[in-house]
Homo-oligomer: A and B are copies of this chain.
Amino acid sequence: MGLMILKGKDIISIKDFSVDEINEILKVSEDFESVARGEKKLDIMNGKVLALLFFEPSTRTRFSFECAMKRLGGETIGFESVESVSVSKGETLADTVRVMEKYSDALVIRHPKEGSARLAAMFSDKPVINAGDGAGHHPTQTLLDLYTIKREKGRIRGIKVAIVGDLKYGRTVHSLAYALAEMGAEILLVSPVGLEMPLEIKKDIEEINGKISEFHSLEDVIGEADVLYVTRIQRERFPDPEEYLKVKGSYRVDLKLLERGKKGIIVMHPLPRVDEISPEVDSTEYAVYFKQTFYGVPVRMALLSMVLGVM
């Protein structure tokens, strides 16, 4: 497959990619690792400008896009809150997009409202990359999650991934579960009662013959999982604070739990974490969440260079 497959394309949802395209992105990402580490220099983005439209705060996503672009010799412009731009004067998203695309070669957008990225793409002649649109999609997060599993476990097919936490409201886990199923991983869903993954997502996954099973306790999966993908459980989802505290405690990943796990088990987390993972895990081989953060750089380098057609 050629490297030009994504040139000029919008990246809105992980579902926009075929399995072959995902594999191609993961392969290209590997080539960029030494550049992402600062060991090798590439100037392929020289003269290029990436616009970052962040209508919501972000650390990881914004800075890893910036790092990806800048290490490759490119530049970024943009905003990280609506206060400093004309949006506060009542400008529509469509107009903001049509303006920003005049100053750039591609746009990255994060917005609290689902569907915003798709809307933005309609009004932009330049490629639009969705960096999270509310309860919608966050395809570059999914790609870096897939890349992390491939790099750390050697492959994705056949790997048992336990997705742990609030699976009802969590932004990224829906598309992650779908993509994992598509790539041949086996999915173990672990969530508190009432925060299970929505039925329609599970149906979507079953339609592509994805292997998926559901649990309510970390204990049920610890002997089986190759990967614990831990996410935050937000206090505000619980009507009863007591209920929250109980759940929070029983979903905490610590060394005692991990030592009973399958050989080679790893812990992932999209970050920021609050206290889902005990700090004692940080310096062990189990902890992959900071590496995962790093992997966002080569993956975004790959995506940007493919979309801008500069490879």
A residues engaging B (CB < 8 A)?
35, 38, 41-43, 46-49, 51, 57-60, 63-64, 66-67, 70-71, 73, 75, 77-81, 83-91, 94-96, 98-100, 102-105, 271-274, 279, 290, 293-294, 296-297
So how many copies of this chain end up in the complex? 3
Q: A166: shortest Cβ distance to chain B, in Å?
A: 14
Residues of B within 8 A of A70 (CB): 49, 75, 77
Q: A59-B87, A90-B272 are in contact. List 14 more A-B contacts (CB 8 A).
A: A38-B48, A38-B105, A42-B47, A43-B46, A57-B86, A59-B79, A63-B78, A67-B104, A81-B83, A89-B272, A91-B274, A95-B271, A98-B290, A102-B294
Bound complex: CA of A5 vs CA of B272, how far in Å?
36
B290 and A59 form a contact (CB under 8 A): no
Q: A55: shortest Cβ distance to chain B, in Å?
A: 12
Taking each of A83, A95, A296, which has the highest tally of chain B beta carbons within 10 Å of its own beta carbon?
A: A95
Residues of B within 8 A of A296 (CB): 102
Q: Which of B49, B84, B96, B294 interacts with A81 by CB under 8 Å?
A: B84
B274 and A99 form a contact (CB under 8 A): no
Q: Which of B73, B75, B86, B102 interacts with A272 by CB under 8 Å?
A: B86
Q: A39: shortest Cβ distance to chain B, in Å?
A: 10
A86 and B60 form a contact (CB under 8 A): yes
Q: Top 9 closest A-B pairs, CB basis?
A: A67-B103, A91-B272, A102-B294, A70-B75, A86-B272, A59-B86, A41-B47, A80-B84, A59-B85
Residues of B within 8 A of A272 (CB): 86, 89-91, 95
Q: A21: shortest Cβ distance to chain B, in Å?
A: 25
Residues of B within 8 A of A46 (CB): 41, 43, 73
Q: A193: shortest Cβ distance to chain B, in Å?
A: 25
Bound complex: CA of A286 vs CA of B88, how far in Å?
27
Bound complex: CA of A119 vs CA of B66, how far in Å?
26
Bound complex: CA of A46 vs CA of B74, how far in Å?
11
A59 and B271 form a contact (CB under 8 A): no
A77 and B63 form a contact (CB under 8 A): yes
Taking each of A43, A63, A90, A290, which has the highest tally of chain B beta carbons within 10 Å of its own beta carbon?
A: A63
Residues of B within 8 A of A77 (CB): 63, 66-67, 70
Q: A296: shortest Cβ distance to chain B, in Å?
A: 8
Residues of B within 8 A of A63 (CB): 51, 77-78, 99-100, 103
Taking each of A59, A66, A274, which has the highest tally of chain B beta carbons within 10 Å of its own beta carbon?
A: A59
